[in-house]
Chain A
Amino acid sequence: KAGVTQTPRYLIKTRGQQVTLSCSPISGHRSVSWYQQTPGQGLQFLFEYFSETQRNKGNFPGRFSGRQFSNSRSEMNVSTLELGDSALYLCASSSAGGGTGELFFGEGSRLTVL
């Protein structure tokens, strides 16, 4: 069974640009969550999608947005990039929200904003 796939793995952007990151969940998983990892801040929750609907959203500005497609693949977009957006963006999928709801993570997309 293929794991969670994130693309691109690395990217460099400049301030003011926008970026789109992609995530393909494990086959059969309908829930996709996005997290931002920065040194000292751990994993900050961005949002979670289930069956193309955003169910939860973290405390990030509106520049951060996402969507989920009918095949459960998800994208997140960051507009008007700031230096502070430099981080590792992790996508995770799970089969359902109940029980332990164990998340399976991808390797992440490392964004550098210059």
Chain B
Amino acid sequence: DQQVKQNSPSLSVQEGRISILNCDYTNSMFDYFLWYKKYPAEGPTFLISISSIKDKNEDGRFTVFLNKSAKHLSLHIVPSQPGDSAVYFCAAKRYNDMRFGAGTRLTVKP
């Protein structure tokens, strides 16, 4: 059951521009949403999260937006850097149950 969906398998942007990664979910009972970043041969690492009662959370170059009515969240990276090139996973959590999307591979070109 795909409760969390990332419909874009890949995204390519120019260094210095904005990267926007999107995620949709189906279960309105999720209470937290998270983004993880994964480099090859490494496990995913936590990037940023947002509570379901908020609509925006910002941490440096990374901002996550949550639209509960549309069951949609997005991650904005500004400005994008080549070191941001990785696979980004969207995750949604209810209590101790965390579900992930299929991931979006971001490539930032110098």
Q: Give the interface of A toward B (CB within 8 A).
A: 4, 31, 33, 35, 40-45, 48, 50, 55-56, 59, 90, 92, 97-108
Interface pair B102/A103, CB less than 8 Å apart: no
Select one of B95, B98, B100 contacting A42, CB under 8 A. B100
> Can you report 29 A-B residue pairs in the complex whose CB atoms are below 8 A from each other?
A33-B98, A35-B100, A40-B9, A42-B89, A42-B100, A42-B102, A43-B44, A43-B89, A43-B91, A45-B97, A45-B98, A45-B100, A48-B96, A55-B96, A59-B1, A90-B43, A97-B96, A98-B95, A100-B32, A100-B34, A100-B49, A100-B93, A101-B32, A101-B93, A101-B96, A102-B34, A103-B46, A103-B98, A107-B42
Measured in the bound complex, the distance between the Cα atoms of B45 and A59 in whole Å is 24
Residue from A40, A43, A50, A102 within 8 A of B100 (CB atoms): A43
Q: Which residue of B lies closest to A35 (CB)?
A: B100
Shortest Cβ distance from B95 into A: residue: A97
Residue pairs across A and B with CB atoms within 8 Å: the count is 63
Q: Please, which residues of chain A bring their CB within 8 A of the CB of B99? A: 45
Q: Within 8 Å CB of A41, what residues of B?
A: 102
Structural contact, B43 and A42, CB atoms closer than 8 A: no
- Count of chain B residues near A, Cβ 8 A: 26
Given contacts A42-B6, A43-B89, contact A31 B43 (CB under 8 A): no
Contact bitstring B34-62, A, C-beta under 8 A = 1, else 0: 10100001111110010100000000000
Chain B residue numbers with a CB within 8 Å of A108 are 43
Contact partners of B96 in chain A: CB under 8 A:
31, 48, 50, 55-56, 97, 101
- Binary interface encoding of chain B residues 81-110 relative to chain A, with 1 for a CB under 8 A from any of its CBs, else 0: 000000001010101111111110000000
- Besides A43-B89, A55-B96, A103-B36, 18 more A-B contacts (Cβ < 8 Å) are A4-B43, A42-B89, A42-B101, A42-B102, A43-B44, A43-B100, A43-B103, A50-B96, A92-B43, A97-B95, A100-B32, A100-B34, A100-B49, A101-B32, A102-B34, A105-B43, A106-B43, A107-B43
A48, A56, A103, A105: most-surrounded residue (chain B CB, <10 A): A103
